[in-house]
């Protein structure tokens, strides 16, 4: 699977794109992971949204922040891949597009993520290293990771 990537600031998103990305986040984080949390957190307006499509269907997504908008460093969050697209490379495609945007457009090279602990190896493969101790976020084990 080779994703078609769209990268947009919040005010560039169509109503349908916004609906699709919120639906995907809800499907995976709220329903599949059985996690009740405040997904609509008033940070989407500051974020750059990276949408990954396969056959015009949203299958992967991230949101990016400039330094200071979420962490002190640039950051990638809400990393999500539709269940049917997992194992296809879609996760690597969406993360590589996100990293490239931060490096090439934002001209930043230090990136922080708050990763679900079970995905540590996936993020290690993308150049992220664990920093600090693990912690619970919304009842799910997480770890901070940095890529330089």
Q: Check: CB of residue 145 under 8 Å from CB of residue 113.
A: yes
Report residue 37's pLDDT band, with 50, 70 and 90 as the boundaries.
confident
Three-state secondary-structure class, residue 133: strand
Give the tens place of pLDDT for each residue, 93-122: 999 999 999 999 999 999 999 999 999 999
Confidence check: pLDDT of 73 > 90: yes
Q: Is position 123 within any domain?
A: no
Q: Is position 95 within any domain?
A: yes
Q: What pLDDT score does 36 carry?
A: 83
Q: Is position 129 within any domain?
A: no
Strand partners, 5: 52
Q: Is position 43 within any domain?
A: yes
Q: Which residue has the tokens 């916004």?
A: 18
Q: Using the 8-state DSSP alphabet, how is residue 97 labeled?
A: H
Q: Is position 47 within any domain?
A: yes
Q: Check: CB of residue 63 under 8 Å from CB of residue 49.
A: yes
Structure tokens at 90: 């879609």
Q: Is position 118 within any domain?
A: no
When divided into structural domains, the chain yields a total of 1
Q: Is position 25 within any domain?
A: yes
Q: Is position 141 within any domain?
A: no
Which are the contacts of 107, defined by CB distance < 8 A and separation ≥ 6? none
Full domain range(s) for residue 75: 4-111
For residue 17, what is the domain's CATH number?
3.40.630.30
H or E element that contains 65: strand 57-65
């Amino acid at each position: 699977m080779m994703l078609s990537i769209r990268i947009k600031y919040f005010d560039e998103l169509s109503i349908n794109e916004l609906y699709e990305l919120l639906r995907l986040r809800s499907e995976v984080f709220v329903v599949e992971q059985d996690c009740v949390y405040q997904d609509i957190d008033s940070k989407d307006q500051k974020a750059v949204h990276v949408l990954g499509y396969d056959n015009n269907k949203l299958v992967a997504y991230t949101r990016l922040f400039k330094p200071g908008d979420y962490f002190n460093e640039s950051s990638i969050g809400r990393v999500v891949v539709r269940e049917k697209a997992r194992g296809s490379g879609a996760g690597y495609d969406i993360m590589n597009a996100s990293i490239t945007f931060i490096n090439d457009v934002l001209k930043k090279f230090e990136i922080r993520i708050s990763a679900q602990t079970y995905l540590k190896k996936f993020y290690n493969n993308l150049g992220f290293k664990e920093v600090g101790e693990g912690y619970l976020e919304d009842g799910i084990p997480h770890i901070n990771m940095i890529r330089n």
